Structure 1
Amino acid sequence: MKKIVSVVAMVMLLMTSCRKDFIEILPIDTVTVDVLYKTDKDYQDAIVGIYGIYQDQYANMYYYGDIRGDDVWDELVKGTAGAFDNFTLSNDDGTLITTWRNYYKAITRANTLLERIGSTDAAVITNKNRHIGEAEFLRALAYFDLVRIFGDVPMVTKSLSIADSYTTPREKVDKIYDEVIIKDLLDAEAKLPATYAGSEVGRATKGAARALLGKVYLTRKDFTKAEVKLQEVTTMGYSLLPNWADLWDYTKNEHHSEFIFDIEYEQGLGGEGSIYTNRFTPKVTSMIAFYGIAGSVDDQNTPHQVLFDLFEAKDKRKDLTASKGYTDATGKFIPLLVSSNNMSAYTRKYIVKIATANDSPANWKVIRYADVLLMYAEALNENGKTTAALPYLNQIRTRAGIDALAAGITQAALREQIVLERRRELAFEGHRWFDLIRTGQALNVMAKYGMKAHHVLFPIPLAQIQLINNTTIFPQNPGYQ
């Protein structure tokens, strides 16, 4: 994937330099497509441009998936992170409009590619099916994130005129699932390869499409289809890493047996690294020096005490997931001081030595095999197959060094254990808030933190509401008017 990431900046420059911003509802690209889409490499580079947008978007995904939930908080209460955390986010927050624009940029570029590639000669565009599959996968991911964040959104699957952009309504979530997300993922699954070799490793695969489709079915509570699709993923050769901590050792290859799909970043390629190391490190001089982190750090994404309390003492994931200090070179534990100037705890999942600020090699794990096993266990359990579900949950527990659950557990008890294990296994990977929403537990859990019923969705960016200026086809979400 290094080769792919290294050309992101070049492709993004080409695409944006040819673009004129007419409106902001759907970032309309007026790229000279006849120049960009001629050879197989042109289409491959265009796909890279879509991946590049996800690098930008997922830099802020922890706001939505982690800080919004109960396991993580913005301890120092600052700016956007604090507003996401305490449910005071206004509809003109800059992160909302950035999120909206990013996803529709990705969608627009995918639409353009799919329109152009349809009539091409497969003998010339030798990877035609793969390009289609990648574009469909990335478009499906964009819409899946959009509907989970905003609810009803414009459903755009072809190029729009400026006039049409102003009259495109918000479409119902169910229609977007049926006509875009699921349809795209099924076709992507059929067209994408199971694996890649060399510098192509890291692109969307058949397994990624199946795994995401399983998550989509689970989100829609279609447990029968979720079970089928996730079971297929378990037969594709994926496996848990024997040592859980290796997932967060960035001196090792991130494309291992547990890898399914990441947002890819690469250190040392001039702006292609990630921001997570700098964002999530406490402002403690000795700690920054010990870890060798260049640049300023931002004290964000504090693990809440409730997360610490979830772990058993012997759980191998505990200290790396959430820590209240660090162990220095002499083996001495140095606790973080409780202070108004720095957070009192942090996650070590994204801590790695970096020579340049915001140039971390740490990828964002969109979906990995442990997530698939837990989702498969959930689908089986919801389908009344509790006995069959138990071994998949126990694979996660056993690797973590905690006792397997005994046979005979009830469906209700296993349901609670799966929720617990998802929190321990997947903390700081953007899952908790969306798990609360899809299981219908968000308000029950989060009301004490300030959540109201309408907070199940985020506000539509005010700039978009004002731009369309037609509440009949483009209303604000309830509670944010």
Structure 2
Amino acid sequence: MRILKIIKSGHMTHRRAFAGMNRLLLFTFPFFLSLIWLGCSDFINVDPPKNNLISVTVFKDPATVESAMANLYYSMREQGMTSGSFGLTPVLSIYGDELDYYGFNADQTQLYNHNHSADNNVLWGWWQQAYYLIYGANDIIRGVESSNDLSVDEKKAFHGQALFVRGYVHSLLVSLFGDVPYVNSTNYRENNTVARMAEEKVYDSIIRDLTDAVELLEGIEPISKRRIWPDRYVAKALLARMYLYTENWEMATSTASELIDHFPLETNLSNTFLKGSPETIWQLAADENFPNNTREAGTLIIQTVPGQTYALTDALLASFENGDLRYDNWIGNVSDSNNTTTLYYPHKYKAGVNEKESLEYSILFRSAEQVLIRSEARAHMGNLTGSQTDLNSIRNRAGLSNTTVTTAHGLLEAIQRERRVELFAEQGHRWFDLKRTANAGRALTDLKPNWQETDILLPIPEAELEINPNLLPQNPGY
């Protein structure tokens, strides 16, 4: 209870004390990990270890290592940046131009209005949970490498998954905060004084981790056929995204091509976000008890007006072409009792959290993104016919005719418009696209009166700067 009060107080002295406490939690991660395994056992369907001294015993049995990995995915689903409740999907959608915010959370209101500061608790929570996950991945890598009890294939599988997690979390951090520490150690003294790394070097480290993960996971069968465990295809999906972000067009094209061939697009748009969709590359499983389905549905679906927290912006609604089937299948609406106000909401996930059957999982990677990655990379390489073909495959599935654009510049703009309506309200894609294409100011200047060009990066949490001055300097504008 005391910890909860500290979080809610917001007082910097208490924040500093809690940040120090967090360092202790990281140092003793294996012990605390064992204490929370029981709470997520339904998610992972693996018996939790009986011995709390798991720093010694966990790597003797593949089932307990599997539990440790599953706990990381459970934490991703329930907390931090990838949570459907308060992660990238809702928060970056209100930070950008996808969702309007009607709620009363002070930190989200600041982000929506672009008057946020380095004291924002949403951002601090994202930062802390991210490095918690990274520490956990590093702890698994260290333990697997030193284990004498796991088979060669078991070592490869767990090592590859942990490298992917480390790369994935860092990819979100660098996209949000710019220069960030790339942590690959469990040495808490080093981690307490780690410095920020230049953005391009962070991307180099991510790509190196993912390349190693692909090699380790090659030929390793996934634990489950439900696509809830990262395999070599998941690592390649993030690699393709990183190659796009770093403008390595050739590698983005070749990497995305393999995934497009392996994960065909779901032909029925209403089935795209069901847990058995053929285009899903990686998803976070729902719980067998609660929630049975996604946090995203519970967060974004409007039940009553008034009473809404989020609603789609007029700008996003206007970006859909006439006849776009995604508008019909992926957008819902509800009116007030007098039918004077109608609000629209993302309806990609349709099953409420209280459904008795798990119908949907939270999708983090799907092949439609890969098609658009290849289309964009091909346009940059001058392969306009190939770029058009990819773009048209997404458009045709949505009931739209082929693009009429024939120039590279025109195609790149058309691809960004297509990404906007295909990937809306999904893990911050729209914001990351505005940022990497230098179009955030053009999109937000009129929409957000407090917009400043320095808002392109989020501030490093003040509590972290006070604990570790090596994270200085603060990002401009904060």
Normalised by the length of structure 1, the TM-score is: 0.82
For residue 26 of structure 2, give the secondary structure of its aligned residue in structure 1: coil
Deviates more, 1:271-280 or 1:89-98: 271-280
Counterpart Cα distance in 2 of 1:279 and 1:360: 17
Counterpart Cα distance in 2 of 1:149 and 1:95: 13
Change (3 A) 1:215 1:89: same
User: Which residue, out of 216, 223, 227, partners 2:249?
Assistant: 223
Counterpart Cα distance in 1 of 2:339 and 2:380: 42
Aligned to 2:304: 284
Structure 2: runs of 5 or more not aligned: 1-17, 31-52
For residue 412 of structure 1, give the secondary structure of its aligned residue in structure 2: helix
Q: Deviations over 1:409-432 (max 9, x none)?
A: 111111111011111111111210
Shift of residue 345, structure 1, vs aligned partner: 2.1
Structure with higher helix content: 2
Change (3 A) 1:354 1:232: closer
Q: Deviations over 1:30-82 (max 9, x none)?
A: 12411322212222111112112211222212244322221322145753332
Q: Count matched residues.
A: 428
- Asked whether 1:178 is paired with 2:204, we answer yes
- Asked whether 1:418 is paired with 2:415, we answer yes
Aligned to 2:310: 301
Aligned to 1:36: 58
Change (3 A) 1:172 1:478: same
Give the partner amino acid of 2:58: L
Counterpart Cα distance in 2 of 1:74 and 1:85: 7
Shift of residue 269, structure 1, vs aligned partner: 2.1
**After TM superposition, where is structure 1 displaced by more than 6 Å over at least 4 residues in a row?**
none
Shift of residue 461, structure 1, vs aligned partner: 1.1
**What is the RMSD of the two structures over their aligned residues, measured on CA atoms?**
2.8
For residue 364 of structure 2, give the secondary structure of its aligned residue in structure 1: strand
Q: Deviations over 1:378-407 (max 9, x none)?
A: 00001111111111110111110011124x
Structure 1: runs of 5 or more not aligned: 1-19, 286-296, 327-332
Q: Deviations over 1:6-40 (max 9, x none)?
A: xxxxxxxxxxxxxx985446952312411322212
Aligned to 1:130: 157
User: Which residue, out of 272, 278, 296, partners 1:247?
Assistant: 272
For residue 283 of structure 2, give the secondary structure of its aligned residue in structure 1: strand
For residue 28 of structure 1, give the secondary structure of its aligned residue in structure 2: helix
Counterpart Cα distance in 2 of 1:154 and 1:224: 28
Aligned to 1:391: 389
User: Which residue, out of 331, 336, 348, partners 1:322?
Assistant: 331
Shift of residue 185, structure 1, vs aligned partner: 0.6
| 8 Å Cα contact 1:211-1:230 kept in structure 2 | yes
Q: Deviations over 1:139-181 (max 9, x none)?
A: 100000011111112221011233x3332112212222212x1
Counterpart Cα distance in 2 of 1:316 and 1:82: 32
| 8 Å Cα contact 1:226-1:379 kept in structure 2 | yes
Give the partner amino acid of 1:308: L
For residue 344 of structure 2, give the secondary structure of its aligned residue in structure 1: coil
Aligned to 1:84: 111
- Asked whether 1:166 is paired with 2:192, we answer yes
Identity among equivalent pairs (%): 25
Alignment of 1:448-459 (within 5 A): 448=446, 449=448, 450-459=450-459
Counterpart Cα distance in 1 of 2:110 and 2:101: 9
Give the partner amino acid of 1:312: E
Give the partner amino acid of 2:212: D
Aligned to 1:10: none
For residue 317 of structure 1, give the secondary structure of its aligned residue in structure 2: helix
Change (3 A) 1:195 1:299: farther
| 8 Å Cα contact 2:300-2:346 kept in structure 1 | yes
Counterpart Cα distance in 2 of 1:224 and 1:280: 37
Counterpart Cα distance in 2 of 1:216 and 1:27: 31
Counterpart Cα distance in 1 of 2:238 and 2:186: 25
Counterpart Cα distance in 2 of 1:229 and 1:304: 34
Counterpart Cα distance in 1 of 2:94 and 2:67: 34
Alignment of 1:354-393 (within 5 A): 354-355=353-354, 362-393=360-391
Aligned to 1:206: 232
Change (3 A) 1:277 1:200: closer
Aligned to 1:259: 280
Change (3 A) 1:247 1:467: same
- Asked whether 1:349 is paired with 2:348, we answer yes
Change (3 A) 1:354 1:104: closer
Aligned to 2:43: none
Normalised by the length of structure 2, the TM-score is: 0.82
User: Which residue, out of 303, 308, 312, partners 2:321?
Assistant: 312
Shift of residue 300, structure 1, vs aligned partner: 3.1
- Asked whether 1:102 is paired with 2:138, we answer no
Aligned to 1:47: 69
